[in-house]
Amino acid sequence: MSTIREVAAKAGVSVTTVSRTLNNRGYISQSMRERIRKAMEELNYQPNEVARSLSFQHTRMIGVLVPEVNNPFFAEVVTRLSRELTAHGYRMLLYIASGTDDDAPDYIAMLRSNQVDGMIVALRSPSVEKELRDGLPTVSFERLPSGGLPTVVCDNLEGGRLAARELLDCGCRRPVMLGGRHAIENFPAFERFRGYRETMEAAGYPAEIYEINEEDYHNDYSEAARKVFLAYPDMDGIFCTSDRIASFVMQEALRRGVRIPEQLKVVGFNDCIAGQCAIPLTSVRQPLDEMCAAAVDCVIRQIERQPITAAMSFPVSLSRRVSTRGYVASPYIMRR
């Protein structure tokens, strides 16, 4: 592997001049830059980015912490965050906190040990609160921490309302909400539950809630889907707090011979895979492009000591599809 000294010798300049060129410090003529660039290409020289970054007291790496990536929502979040960070000249250091809630502080410690410039944390664990209050630029994504961290969320309260209204407008009179951890106030599911409950009760219907237990939360939701059908055999509508949960509910419905949407209306949340389901899923859409862009902008502003907006909430909308409204004939189909 070539060294910076070899580059300097080939270009006929000092090591200091090569270093200044790499780090864009001070004036270097265009002809000099071109000589150095050509020497680097001929020697196949790759600068040590980590060493260069540390010399400036930063690594241009942002740690991203998510609970899983087999969930389409988090996979989409990671993809969008990576794209935004790259566009701003940063790299992502991704950690998947796939263990228990008690393990979350260990993942945060590992990120710090890699000297990240900041963190974007999308964990649901309540045990990370005190671990995030040490001054490192941090953004909480789709979670409302009590420690005053900057947050990026969608309007989960309105999302719950939209889902409830859709089920009621479609004629459901025995609907159920299926989700996890709705009793914890700083989790998204709580706001979705509150919006759903308020809308149902205002319309004169009970807000039936089936909460997914911790074991099922970390599995594939097939058992949770089976259990909700056993608990509510006469339900005619269901609001699932993620598209992934909804996909398992629809699979279970088909297994039981329950027709969607004729016998059961289904609403999801995220709108990540809703249009790709075998039965296209009506879903509350989170504006992930805007949310991820805001999270990246917020953490970089903290690094650069610029003013930030501490709490950012983005509006949601409802994408109506077959699972609640049925098939609609296209006006472009030729009639015989």
The rounded radius of gyration (Å) of the Cα atoms in the chain is 25
Mapped onto helix, strand or coil, the DSSP state of residue 234 is: coil
Residue 183 in tokens: 């009793």
φ, ψ at 334 (rounded to 5°): -70, 135
**Domain limits of the chain?**
4-47, 61-154+288-315, 156-285+319-325
Return the bridge partners of 239, or none: 177, 267
State the residue for tokens 């000591």. 305
Residue-wise pLDDT for 134-150, tens only, equals: 678 999 999 876 567 89
Q: Which CATH class is domain 61-154+288-315?
A: alpha beta
Give the integer Cα–Cα distance in Å for 279 and 283.
Answer: 12
Q: Where on the phi/psi map is residue 218: left (φ > 0), alpha (ψ -120 to 50), or beta?
A: alpha
User: What predicted TM-score, i.e. pTM, was given to this entire model?
Assistant: 0.78
Q: How confident is the model at residue 20 (pLDDT cuts 50, 70, 90)?
A: confident
Q: Which CATH class is domain 156-285+319-325?
A: alpha beta
Q: How confident is the model at residue 302 (pLDDT cuts 50, 70, 90)?
A: very high
Residue 210: is its pLDDT beyond 50? yes
Residue-wise pLDDT for 38-67, tens only, equals: 888 888 887 665 555 544 456 789 999 998
State which fold the 4-47 domain adopts.
434 Repressor (Amino-terminal Domain) (1.10.260)
Per DSSP, the residues of 101-120 read GGGHHHHHHHHHHTT-SEEE
pLDDT at 71: 85
DSSP E strand stretches across the chain: 61-66, 91-96, 118-121, 138-141, 151-154, 175-180, 208-212, 237-240, 265-270, 282-285, 311-314, 317-319
Number of H helices, E strands in the chain: 13, 12
Give the integer Cα–Cα distance in Å for 287 and 277.
Answer: 19
One fold for both 61-154+288-315 and 156-285+319-325? yes
